[in-house]
């Protein structure tokens, strides 16, 4: 298939790159974490967006090689940020549920962190609800191992999957990322506002951090502050960018 061939070329020709999107600490305006978002280049230009190539990679099995590349690249970046103003900025990578089916995944992540002389708390993992709840006991144990070691674990796109709130207290997670559709609807719709409020309350009562994604306007920024979210991510603050721009922009501001 065309996308699979493109991905293979990108893997072999240094065409994969990580971009980073800051997460803003709403209490103090700092950037204590960022999300790593994979980009696929060919001949110096973006070739295909992740919303297209990630599902293809999951089907073809290439996701394991790509996922390992992402883990290594994120750790390399964290090491390169040591001694810069971004030294304490955690990188959160997106993990596909398929990757956790590999029983060595947790050990490999911890090994890679060690190889780069990093602390586990410098890395975070984002998994969607369906990936978390679809996982068997062995996959949950891998996440538990990572969390116990200090790796930060978030539920991505929270509120859109088929999860029950009861599972929140059983799953080894540190924070919820509220799916951006809730914020966008909450601006117009009282019931979406109520749902968002409820998610934030439940999250906090369970001791979880609450991150909101997709903040694009000042009104939305005001709302998420009023609602008591801990962190926010969105085009209003910054778009995903190469590491060099992270250092030039955010790094110098503090």
Tell me how far apart the alpha carbons of residues 90 and 80 are, in angstroms, rounded to a whole number: 13
Nearer to Mn ion, 96 or 142 (CB): 96
Kindly determine how many residues on this chain lie close enough to bind ligand G according to the rule CB under 6 A. Answer: 22
Nearer to Na ion, 81 or 152 (CB): 152
Backbone angles phi, psi at 230, to 5 degrees: -80, -40
Backbone angles phi, psi at 223, to 5 degrees: -60, -45
Tell me how far apart the alpha carbons of residues 174 and 147 are, in angstroms, rounded to a whole number: 8
- Pick the stretch among 168-176, 200-208, 229-237, 246-254 that binds ligand G (CB under 6 A): 229-237
Q: Is residue 156 near Na ion by the rule CB under 5 A?
A: yes
Q: Is residue 94 near ligand G by the rule CB under 6 A?
A: yes
- Pick the stretch among 144-152, 162-170, 201-209, 214-222 that binds ligand G (CB under 6 A): 214-222
Tell me how far apart the alpha carbons of residues 74 and 233 are, in angstroms, rounded to a whole number: 19
Considering the complex, what minimum distance in angstroms separates the CB of residue 140 from ligand G? 18
Residue with tokens 């893997």: 11
Query: How far does CA 242 lie from the centroid of its chain?
Result: 16
Tell me how far apart the alpha carbons of residues 242 and 247 are, in angstroms, rounded to a whole number: 9
Q: Which spans of this chain sit near Mn ion (rule: CB under 5 A)?
A: 94, 126, 156
Q: Is residue 92 near Na ion by the rule CB under 5 A?
A: no
Q: Is residue 129 near ligand G by the rule CB under 6 A?
A: no
Q: Could you tell me which residues come within 8 angstroms of residue 123 by beta carbon, excluding any fewer than 6 positions away?
A: 74, 75, 78, 90, 91, 92, 93, 109, 113, 151, 152
- Kindly tell me which residue out of 71, 196, 234, 246 binds ligand G, with binding defined by CB under 6 A: 234
Nearer to Na ion, 142 or 233 (CB): 233
Q: Is residue 167 near ligand G by the rule CB under 6 A?
A: no
Tell me how far apart the alpha carbons of residues 101 and 235 are, in angstroms, rounded to a whole number: 33
Please give the span between the terminal C-alpha atoms of the chain, in angstroms, as a whole number: 46
Q: Is residue 220 near ligand G by the rule CB under 6 A?
A: no
Considering the complex, what minimum distance in angstroms separates the CB of residue 83 from ligand G? 26
Residue 122: name its binding partner from ligand G, Na ion, Mn ion, none (Cβ under 5 to 8 Å by kind): none
* Cβ atoms of 23 and 37 closer than 8 Å: no
Residue 229: name its binding partner from Na ion, ligand G, Mn ion, none (Cβ under 5 to 8 Å by kind): none
Residues forming the site for ligand G (CB under 6 A): 21, 37-38, 49-51, 54, 70, 93-94, 96, 156-157, 180, 213-216, 233-235, 240
Residues forming the site for Na ion (CB under 5 A): 156-157
């Amino acid at each position: 298939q065309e996308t699979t061939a493109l991905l293979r070329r990108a893997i072999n020709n240094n065409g994969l790159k990580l971009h980073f999107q800051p997460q803003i600490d709403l209490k103090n305006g700092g950037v204590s974490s960022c999300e790593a978002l994979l980009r696929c280049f060919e001949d110096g230009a973006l070739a295909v967006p992740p919303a297209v190539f990630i599902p293809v990679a999951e089907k073809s099995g290439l996701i394991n090689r790509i996922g390992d590349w992402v883990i290594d690249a994120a750790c390399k970046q964290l090491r390169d940020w040591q001694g810069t103003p971004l030294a304490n900025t955690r990188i959160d990578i997106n993990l596909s549920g398929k990757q956790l089916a590999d029983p060595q995944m947790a050990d490999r992540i911890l090994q890679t962190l060690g190889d780069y002389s990093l602390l586990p708390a410098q890395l975070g993992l984002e998994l969607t609800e369906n990936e978390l709840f679809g996982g068997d006991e062995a996959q949950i144990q891998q996440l538990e191992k990572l969390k116990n070691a200090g790796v930060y674990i978030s539920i991505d796109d929270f509120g859109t999957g088929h999860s029950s709130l009861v599972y929140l207290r059983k799953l080894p997670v540190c924070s919820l990322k509220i799916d951006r559709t809730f914020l966008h609807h909450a601006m117009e719709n009282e019931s979406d506002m109520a749902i968002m409020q409820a998610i934030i309350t439940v999250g906090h009562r369970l001791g979880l951090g609450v991150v909101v994604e997709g903040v694009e306007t000042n009104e939305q920024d005001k709302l998420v502050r009023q609602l008591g979210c801990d962190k926010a991510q969105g085009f209003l603050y910054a778009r995903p960018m190469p590491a060099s721009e992270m250092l030039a922009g955010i790094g110098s501001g503090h």
